[in-house]
Structure 1
């Protein structure tokens, strides 16, 4: 067999197969129908939770009272009285800058609180222990922390406010 004959046969075979494929394609059965299914989704409402009662704890033991300390005097420590005596003006200082009031003899009688004054500074200015100044001024509340503007502080140790 020569090469040209082989090529002609081959071309014939390819052509015959092509014609057969085209002829048979018209005979192919119709494709099967596609089945379509519709699904309807209905949402289910979320149930509302039912509140549950929290159990109340039951106390089975009675509360224990705190022990009350017993206060006794210490015989080794002597009672030290607060010093009492006339107030002495050391001069204006920050926290006690107003002029004090004096009696006819020149003794200090009172001091009127101004802005920026503190009870501690007033006691220092007039050379008085805080405890003594508090005892001389029972109307001063809060251990001297609650003085107010224009409040009169007694400086006469022979009288109480």
Structure 2
């Protein structure tokens, strides 16, 4: 019986399928030659009459207004704040001269305490680096605006 089973299984295999062969032939496509772009003709020179006619596509140029100067005047002590708790010195007439930086102070807060624009404070204190980010404890800040005139 084993021989019969072997013959039956052998007959199921069948013939192998033929192999398919594919041939690829590469072709080269030539690069197209660009055609030259025509150069536009130069525009004719404007005549005096054409210069007098306004061109609606070009807006009229208007100069900027004169800048408003920063308010300048004596520094006024508006009172101690969390970012400006240091002490001041004044002259005999009571005009503020200097401010001494203490821990926790910020240049911006000092400027606000004395009602002086930050840009003016920076002008009055050229030794303060950058935009006032780096001030140090016991550093003397000038409050005498007359030194900048």
What residue number does 1:102 align with?
A: 90
Structure 2's unaligned 5+ residue stretches are 1-61
What residue number does 2:127 align with?
A: 139
Deviation at 1:99, TM superposition (A): 1.9
CA distance in 2: counterparts of 1:90 and 1:141, whole angstroms: 25
Deviation at 1:91, TM superposition (A): 0.5
CA distance in 2: counterparts of 1:121 and 1:147, whole angstroms: 12
1:53-92 equivalent positions in 2, closer than 5 A: 75-92=63-80
1:1-161 equivalent positions in 2, closer than 5 A: 75-160=63-148
Using the size of structure 2 for normalisation, the TM-score is 0.56
Task: Report Cα offsets for 1:110-135 as digits up to 9, x if no partner.
Answer: 00100000000000000000011111
What residue number does 2:30 align with?
A: none
What residue number does 2:16 align with?
A: none
Deviation at 1:77, TM superposition (A): 2.8
CA distance in 1: counterparts of 2:66 and 2:107, whole angstroms: 28
> What secondary structure sits across from 2:141 in the alignment?
strand
Q: How many residues align?
A: 87
Q: Cα RMSD between the aligned structures?
A: 1.2
> What secondary structure sits across from 1:153 in the alignment?
strand
Deviation at 1:76, TM superposition (A): 2.5
Using the size of structure 1 for normalisation, the TM-score is 0.52
Structure 1's unaligned 5+ residue stretches are 1-73
